[in-house]
Structure 1
Amino acid sequence: MVKIGKVALDNGMPKICVPLVGHSADELVQECRYLQDKIYDVVELRIDFLKDVTSLDAVGDALAAVRQELPDSAILFTFRTKEEGGEMEVPESYYFDLIDYAVKSGKIDAIDVEYFRDRASIKKVLTIAKEHGVTVIMSNHDFDKTPSFDEITGRLIGMKKLGADVAKLACMPNSAKDVLTLLSATEAVKSQYPDEPLITMSMGKLGAISRISGEIFGSALTFGSAKKASAPGQLEVTTLQQILRALHF
């Protein structure tokens, strides 16, 4: 059973992850406090939104602030690169320095590692994460288009073969057929790996249906916005929770 902190990514109703996108430790604290009356399972600290993200000290302050406000929450640490839709461009070596720092901080439960990064560095992350009990979500994002069925299944299976605890893929649909491609590819990979969690989503308004249909097609986690969305098409977290509960039986 793969977990993020105490949250099990099992089959059934998808778990809800809320992104934190504050530009400073103070803004992150305000976002954490905004979550007090919300129902969610995991918090994603999108550290690429942090203004001083190129300073590990500032990243450490942000991590400490979030963990202090949310002592019992499952925290996923993510630096989304510019190439995959993130806020900030950094050298690949620093990208891995950030991940290494976060894993060793003792303040996070899971880490996001992009699939199309340096393979040797990814393997080091997998080793260090395992030593520290940190779950690895390997990811790929395409904000322009939806890859083919074979590309999607190939990437998700490739992540699993590389050693990811969770394989994640998000892409942008340009037609209803694109959404079906993403959903059918998710179902195909899930049928091959029935006991291993996947996270997939079709972004934007067209893809919103994919954010609530994980129980049927096999996606174990979905993202809902609190103060501000981190990607197009995210539903507000309370609305998302109500829809998932209504669909769950």
Structure 2
Amino acid sequence: MLKTPLALLMMAVSAAAAKPLSTRIKPLQVGNLTIQQGKPAIIVSTTGADSDSALKLARQAAQTPQVQMVELRVDKLDFAMQADKVTQLGQAMRRELKGKPLLLTLRTEAEGGNLSPDNDRYIALCQQWLAEGFADVIDIEMRMGAQAVDRLVAQAHQRHIAVILSCHDFTATPDNADMLNRLAWQEAHGADILKIAVMPKTPQDVSRLMDITWQMRQRSDRPIITMAMGGLGAVTRLSGEVFGSNLTFGTLGEASAPGQLEVEALDQALDTLHEANTSSS
């Protein structure tokens, strides 16, 4: 678990006074959360392998004001490939969350997850869970390709479920054109929320991701999630309001990805940035 680095926080505070956003996002309602311009909303993820640990996190999140959304990481469950059992857990978690939105994610090994189902199995599982309608938001990996993505997005929207189209690179930070193209592809294929996560090797990689986030914000009115993973990328989890990322991930215990900050420390940092941003506008 990382502490908030003071130097990184001050870097983002300084930027807040210099870069007002020029493109405002179209607010997106999921559960009782309105994703909009301003302080990013905090998501926490399940990390346990059983139903009890996931339900415990849901209850804790429901009682924690700093948490606005919970992600059910299906791939971390012992029964991840048992679609009916996942549905039962998702329904129970949604009841425990008392209106806070539930994000459903089956993260594949190719993108940093724990499972490697073939594409057909991945698509079939997502289709079954969408048909059950227990999630408020679903994460779909854009690597599934246009045909599968378009089909899943259409089904999600028929059920009034918001879609995150995502891509994750745990080895490097792609070049700027590649990252912009990925985000633009997600928007073109109907994503309600655009997402890219990368692994930085240098501070310049972190800077490039924040610049790409800013560039995409000028082009799109969709909510965006961007992050550079690991300790080097921690500033990207704090500075979304400045550069145009609207949600961020924190932890109520074990982290689900490298570089996540504990929600109380994360929320305090986001509040500091928000105050700096609003006082300078």
> Is the TM-score greater than 0.5?
yes
Unaligned stretches of 5+ residues in structure 2? 1-26, 276-281
Contact 1:44-1:78 at 8 Å conserved across structures: yes
Partner of residue 36, structure 2: 10
C-alpha separation in 2, matches of 1:59 and 1:37:
23
Larger Rg: 2
AA at the equivalent of 2:40? P
* Paired residue total: 248
Indicate the residue corresponding to 2:250 in structure 1: 224
Letter aligned with residue 200 of structure 2:
P
Higher relative contact order (CA 8 A, sep 6+): 2
2:172 matched to which residue of 1? 145
Give 1:95's aligned residue.
122
| Structure 2 residue 233 is the aligned partner of structure 1 residue 207 | yes
Name the structure 2 match of 1:247: 273
Q: 1:125 aligns with which of 129, 152, 163?
A: 152
Query: Is the contact between residue 110 and residue 137 of structure 1 (CA under 8 Å) also seen in structure 2?
Result: yes
- How many Å apart are 1:60 and its aligned residue? 1.6
Q: Separation in 1 of the partners of 2:104 and 2:121?
A: 15
CA contact (8 A) 1:137 1:166 kept: yes
Whether 1:155 and 2:218 are equivalent positions in the alignment is no
Go from structure 1 to structure 2 and tell me whether the alpha carbon gap of 1:65 and 1:154 turns closer, same or farther (over 3 Å shift).
same
In the superposition, relative to structure 1, how do residues 101 and 224 fare at CA in structure 2: closer, same or farther (>3 Å)? same
- In structure 1, what is the equivalent of residue 98 of structure 2? 71
Q: For 2:71, which of 37, 40, 44 is the aligned residue?
A: 44
Letter in 1 for 2:184: I
Shift of 1:34: 3.0
Sequence identity percentage:
37
User: Which of the numbers 209, 220, 228 marks the counterpart of 1:182?
Assistant: 209
**Mean Cα displacement is larger for which, 125-134 or 1-10?**
1-10
Match of 1:105 among 124, 132, 136: 132
The residue type paired with residue 162 of structure 1 is H
Is there any run of 5+ residues in structure 1 with no aligned partner, and where?
none
CA distance in structure 2 between the aligned counterparts of 1:47 and 1:67, rounded to whole angstroms: 14
SS of corresponding position for 1:94: helix
Which residue in 2 is equivalent to 1:164? 191
Amino acid of the structure 1 residue aligned with 2:154? T
Preserved CA contact (<8 Å) 1:24 1:62: no
Query: Which position in structure 2 is the counterpart of 1:55?
Result: 82
TM-score, structure 1 length as denominator? 0.96
Q: Distance in 2 between matches of 1:176 and 1:210?
A: 11
| Partner SS state of residue 230, structure 1 | coil
Whole-angstrom CA distance in 2 between matches of 1:135 and 1:64:
17
The answer to whether the 8 Å contact 1:116/1:140 transfers is yes
TM-score, normalised with respect to structure 2? 0.85
Asked if 1:26 is matched to 2:52, the reply is yes
